[in-house]
């Protein structure tokens, strides 16, 4: 028998035999570290990507919510109304205040929509004309939990508010009228804050004779066309932009004020202890010095039987601060000094400013219930608007229920007459000849506008120390 001898491998030393055992002992922790690293990387990619996606979505919601709050500000709302408007817009974009994910009811993941008016941080801190919205939420992580990170906080912030809009403080609203803005004779309309004519008429803007418009630098926009009748060129500066889209009524958000149910009183300065109640026959002044106070000035005794709420044909009339409700209309003629005063009875005094609201207590649907406002060119009128409240900056306000009045409203005055604030006649024509005071400003919003004589509309927009005007719109600022 042949014997085959099988070779055996050489014997390893004890040190060599120990290496595989050590490697086997290190595999488990190394594998754990590798898996943790992979989960961490996946967390950074997947959880991080989700957080960035949610952050973008949240920022869009915060922007919308801030704009919602700003629109509420422009509409004159305050307090909870602003908060609710902002949170409503946040909810429309998927972020309902104090709500949870459908799959997670933990209080730790609740959505918070914080609304601050005024803002509590940033450049607009403490400014009540702005709304700050902060949306925050803790998002539950998936892969990053292996690293001990169970939730990722996400926050988005936005600020929006009321910004002054300095263009087109002369705005003719009519969508179709011929000569929606008309200049007659040789007037010069100087409107550095711009002109806009919404009419689509082939002749929407008319400059008769040697009349001119200087609207630099803001410009002239006309939806239809313009004509310079008798103008040899250079009537408009700059050249009107034809086809300019119609501009919105900047005061459409302002509500009509509520007419008080009681009449007011006036005082003859020569006899301050003898207040005169304004009766249903209207106030009629022809001479002397008078102090008028806010309230209802009614001339109505029934439909078709009325006089103007205020009729003045001479003397000095001091208008104390507040709203003057005209039922219906006002006629100022003669050598009259017609001026606003402060609560101390002096021009330039504290809280100086008024608003005239032309309305009727009769049937609004009947034309005979209405009268117009007319201030003659012989009147030295020096009028300023109120500087606080929702009607800040509005000097004349026509009831939106007014029918078309013929010939409309006429506001003029002597060479040194000044009208600061907005002349707002959305349903009628206004014929205007006047100027802004030094450092003041004037705006005209009307269905149609006629300019006679030299008219200067400054755009300093200094209604108060904050530089606010009714020409405001909601804008994002942060």
Query: Residues of 96-112 as b/e, b for ≥16 C-beta within 10 angstroms?
Result: ebeeeeeeeeeeebbbe
CA–CA gap between residue 202 and residue 223 (Å, rounded): 9
User: Given this model, what pLDDT does residue 465 score?
Assistant: 44
- Dump strand ranges (E) for 287-368: 289-292, 295-298, 310-312, 315-319, 322-327, 330-332, 336-340, 354-359
CA–CA gap between residue 95 and residue 65 (Å, rounded): 10
Residues of the chain with pLDDT under 70: 1-50, 100-109, 140-150, 164-167, 229-234, 263, 278-280, 300-305, 437-440, 458-472
CA angle 160, 118, 156 (to 5 degrees): 50
User: Given this model, what pLDDT does residue 339 score?
Assistant: 97
User: Given this model, what pLDDT does residue 331 score?
Assistant: 95
In angstroms and rounded to an integer, the radius of gyration of the C-alpha atoms of the chain is 35
User: Given this model, what pLDDT does residue 364 score?
Assistant: 83
- Enter the tokens of residue 382: 């020096």
User: Given this model, what pLDDT does residue 29 score?
Assistant: 64
User: Given this model, what pLDDT does residue 103 score?
Assistant: 47
Residues 6+ apart with CB under 8 A from 210: 185, 186, 230, 231
């Amino acid at each position: 028998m042949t014997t085959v001898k099988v070779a055996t491998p050489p014997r390893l030393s004890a040190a060599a035999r120990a290496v595989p055992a050590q490697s086997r002992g290190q595999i488990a922790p190394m594998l754990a570290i590798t898996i943790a690293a992979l989960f961490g990387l996946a967390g950074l990619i997947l959880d991080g990507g989700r957080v960035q996606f949610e952050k973008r979505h949240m920022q869009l919601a915060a922007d919308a919510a801030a704009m919602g709050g700003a629109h509420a500000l422009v509409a004159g709302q305050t307090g909870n109304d602003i908060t609710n408007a902002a949170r409503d817009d946040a909810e429309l974009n998927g972020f309902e205040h104090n709500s949870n994910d459908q799959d997670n009811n933990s209080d730790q993941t609740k959505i918070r929509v914080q609304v601050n008016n005024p803002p509590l941080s940033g450049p607009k801190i403490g400014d009540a004309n702005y709304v700050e919205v902060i949306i925050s939420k803790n998002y539950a992580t998936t892969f990053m939990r292996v690293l001990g990170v169970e939730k990722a906080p996400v926050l988005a912030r936005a600020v929006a508010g009321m910004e002054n809009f300095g263009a087109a403080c002369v705005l003719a609203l009519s969508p179709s009228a011929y000569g929606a803005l008309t200049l007659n004779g040789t007037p010069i309309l100087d409107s550095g804050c711009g002109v806009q004519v919404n009419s689509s008429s082939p002749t929407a803007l008319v400059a008769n004779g040697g009349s001119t418009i200087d609207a630099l630098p803001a410009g002239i926009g006309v939806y239809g066309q313009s004509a310079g009748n008798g103008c040899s060129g250079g009537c408009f500066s700059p050249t009107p932009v034809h086809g300019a889209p119609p501009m919105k009524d900047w005061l459409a958000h302002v509500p009509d004020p509520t007419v008080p149910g009681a009449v007011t009183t006036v005082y003859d300065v020569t006899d301050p202890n003898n207040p005169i109640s304004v009766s249903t026959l209207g106030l009629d002044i022809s001479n002397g010095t008078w102090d008028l106070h806010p309230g209802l000035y009614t001339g109505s005794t029934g439909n078709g039987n009325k006089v103007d709420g205020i009729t003045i044909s001479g003397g000095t009339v001091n208008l104390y601060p507040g709203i003057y409700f005209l039922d219906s209309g006002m006629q100022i003629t003669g050598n009259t000094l017609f001026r606003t005063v402060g609560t101390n009875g002096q021009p330039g005094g504290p809280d100086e400013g008024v608003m005239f609201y032309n309305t009727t207590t009769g049937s609004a649907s009947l034309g005979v219930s209405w009268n117009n406002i007319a201030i003659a060119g012989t009147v030295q009128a020096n009028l300023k608007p109120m500087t606080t409240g929702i009607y800040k900056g509005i000097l004349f306000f026509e009831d939106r229920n007014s029918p078309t009045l013929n010939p409309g409203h006429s506001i003029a005055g002597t060479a040194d007459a000044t009208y600061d604030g907005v002349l707002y006649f959305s349903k009628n024509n206004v014929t205007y000849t006047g100027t802004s005071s030094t450092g003041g400003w004037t705006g005209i919003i009307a269905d149609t506008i006629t300019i006679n004589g030299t008219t200067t509309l400054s755009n300093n927009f200094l209604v108060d120390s904050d530089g606010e005007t009714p020409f405001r719109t909601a804008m994002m600022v942060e």
